[in-house]
Amino acid sequence: MNLRRLTALAEKGEIRELELLSLEGGFYIARIKLAHLEMTLLDDSGKTLRIRSSTHLRDLLQQVPPFPCVLVQQCVHDEMCGTREGAIGALRIPFSLAAPF
């Protein structure tokens, strides 16, 4: 999904959530959830769009109608050490596309 399609779907109210996934290496990718489909945000050449920060995402989507967003970070310590019992869930922090004051 590219920015044009994301904008069109947001205008129709079809975006359920955007997950901003924090990845090793200091960058993020965006996963867009629709009713029955999840897609990665792509650049103009069809490659996964690398996002530098939540501020960079806000800049990219400043003309897009708002929808729910969540920052997703895996707990690397838990993954490496495996000290917890049961499933290890990611840290999920809701945030807004509105510019901070």
The Cα 101–Cα 82 span in angstroms is 39
pTM beyond 0.85, yes or no? no
Tally Cβ neighbours within 10 Å of residue 1: 19
User: What does the domain layout of the chain look like in residue ranges?
Assistant: 1-64
Per-residue model confidence as pLDDT tens for the chain (101 residues): 999 999 999 999 999 999 999 998 889 999 999 999 999 999 999 999 999 999 999 999 999 999 999 999 876 655 555 555 666 677 888 988 876 64
Can you tell me which residue has the tokens 């596309």? 97
| Chain centroid to CA 59 | 14
Q: Are strands 17-23 and 69-73 parallel, antiparallel or unpaired?
A: parallel
Beta bridge partners of 33: 17, 38
Fold of 1-64: 3.30.720
